[in-house]
Amino acid sequence: SFVEANEVRYQACSEVLGGIKDIIINHAGKQYIEKVDQSSRLYSLHLATKETLGQVPLHIVETIGYGCIIILAIVLVISGKEISHILPILGLYGIAAYRMLPAAQNIYRAITQIKFSQNVFKSIRDEFLLNNKKIDYKKNQKIVFENKIQLKNICFSYASRSSNLILDHFNLIISKNKTIGIVGKSGSGKSTLMDIMLGLLQPQRGKVLVDDVELNQNNIQAWYQIVGYVPQSIYLADKSIAENIAFGVEKDQIDFEAVKLVAQQAQIDDFIMQKLPQGYQTKVGERGVMLSGGQKQRIGIARALYKNPQILFMDEATSALDIETEYAINEAIQNLNGKKTIVIIAHRESAVKSCDQVIRLIS
């Protein structure tokens, strides 16, 4: 339909723009051009249908209306009425028809418009209804973290593949100000486990407890405030380096000394000061296109540290770095040792060798 065709159009365009390198190398462009071509045709066809359907009745109704007046005239003439009687009657009907037709036409056009837009409206309405409960940051319960984070009998599977149990009665205790490393093959559920600890995913069974208080909808905002998170792939906004490090902070409230400090800890300060023309004010481009994978990761680490979180979660945060940079960052993180609780997911055992505790996930 109209909506589907439009969806295909947009999806194809965003896929092409998102994966332009893969598409050039794999000659996938032609396929996408065909896709956009087909769906655009379908879209235009629907649009044309809509316009035509709105116009056609005008002519039909006009034909019928004026046809009636002509028949009326003929009937009146045949029935032998005087011309001076016929003319006023015809004039009356003629003018009435003349005034009514555009109105009838407008009504009809409006109805087709409504019918046509109904589908679009339906799909948008659901989206809007979804998000009308506003987050009230002040009303939220506080969360106190003095002793430990505890995962209790966690069972988790993704809704799309519910038979594949990723965590099965999983238990873990993380004591405050300890570092804990999580290793395991790719696909063993490390990122999933971290998402559960962060409160981004809800387990089907079991609880996440912070000092014996369960994470729930009422205290989750407070929890987000005390955790720092370095995801596996860092999202960068097309803003300056400083704004990307102090992410979510208004531009005039950024603490530049703190930005520089965390950049030093993340081993990215030298690069920013020496290689970038405007230093911390340099724009990074859409999704950080002007930076390498390792540079993005280090900005992600600096971003997590800027919040000065009590707990730092890192998901393969050093996997795109060379051994020396990884070593330097680990060194900086070791300096936080004993002051922060740190959960590190890593591919390389070298990244977790100085952790107080190491967990191996097997799938």
Which of left, alpha, beta for 267 (phi over 0: left; psi -120 to 50: alpha)?
Answer: left
- The residue from 30, 133, 138, 161 that contacts ligand ADP (CB under 6 A) is 161
Q: Is position 191 an interface residue for ligand ADP (rule: CB under 6 A)?
A: yes
We find the least distance from the C-beta atom of residue 246 to ligand ADP, in angstroms, to be 28
We find the least distance from the C-beta atom of residue 194 to Mg ion, in angstroms, to be 8
Nearest residue to 210 (alpha-carbon basis) of 202, 198, 193 = 198
DSSP letter string, 130-183: HT-S---TTTSPP---SSEEEEEEEEE--GGGTTS-SEEEEEEEEETT-EEEEE
Q: Is position 9 an interface residue for ligand ADP (rule: CB under 6 A)?
A: no
- The residue from 19, 57, 184, 206 that contacts ligand ADP (CB under 6 A) is 184
Q: Is position 265 an interface residue for Mg ion (rule: CB under 5 A)?
A: no
Stretch that binds ligand ADP, among 14-22, 185-193, 210-218, 270-278 (CB under 6 A): 185-193
Q: Is position 189 an interface residue for ligand ADP (rule: CB under 6 A)?
A: yes
Q: Is position 131 an interface residue for ligand ADP (rule: CB under 6 A)?
A: no
Q: Residue 275: what residue type?
A: K
**Three-state secondary structure call for residue 72:** helix
| Rounded CA separation 350/322 (Å) | 12
User: Which two structure tokens, joined as six digits, stand for 247?
Assistant: 């992410």
Stretch that binds ligand ADP, among 82-90, 189-197, 239-247, 327-335 (CB under 6 A): 189-197
Q: Is position 318 an interface residue for ligand ADP (rule: CB under 6 A)?
A: no
Q: Is position 187 an interface residue for ligand ADP (rule: CB under 6 A)?
A: yes
Q: How far apart are the first and last CA of the chain?
A: 43
Q: Is position 188 an interface residue for ligand ADP (rule: CB under 6 A)?
A: yes
User: Which two structure tokens, joined as six digits, stand for 128?
Assistant: 């809007």
User: Among ligand ADP, Mg ion, none, what binds residue 6 when CB lies within 5 to 8 Å by partner kind?
Assistant: none
Contacts (Cβ under 8 Å, ≥6 apart) of 234: 288, 296, 297, 299, 300, 303
Q: Is position 162 an interface residue for ligand ADP (rule: CB under 6 A)?
A: no
Q: Is position 318 an interface residue for Mg ion (rule: CB under 5 A)?
A: no
User: Which two structure tokens, joined as six digits, stand for 39?
Assistant: 């769906």
Q: Is position 349 an interface residue for ligand ADP (rule: CB under 6 A)?
A: no
Q: Is position 264 an interface residue for ligand ADP (rule: CB under 6 A)?
A: no
Stretch that binds ligand ADP, among 62-70, 126-134, 180-188, 233-241 (CB under 6 A): 180-188
| Rounded CA separation 325/292 (Å) | 14
**Three-state secondary structure call for residue 213:** strand
Stretch that binds ligand ADP, among 39-47, 117-125, 134-142, 156-164 (CB under 6 A): 156-164
Question: What backbone phi and psi angles, to 5 degrees, belong to 167?
Answer: -120, 130
- The residue from 39, 191, 244, 341 that contacts Mg ion (CB under 5 A) is 191
| Rounded CA separation 252/244 (Å) | 14
Query: Are the beta carbons of 281 and 241 closer than 8 angstroms?
Result: yes
Q: Is position 158 an interface residue for ligand ADP (rule: CB under 6 A)?
A: yes
We find the least distance from the C-beta atom of residue 188 to Mg ion, in angstroms, to be 9
Q: Is position 192 an interface residue for Mg ion (rule: CB under 5 A)?
A: no
We find the least distance from the C-beta atom of residue 328 to Mg ion, in angstroms, to be 23
Interface ranges with ligand ADP (CB under 6 A)? 158, 160-161, 166, 184, 186-192
Interface ranges with Mg ion (CB under 5 A)? 191
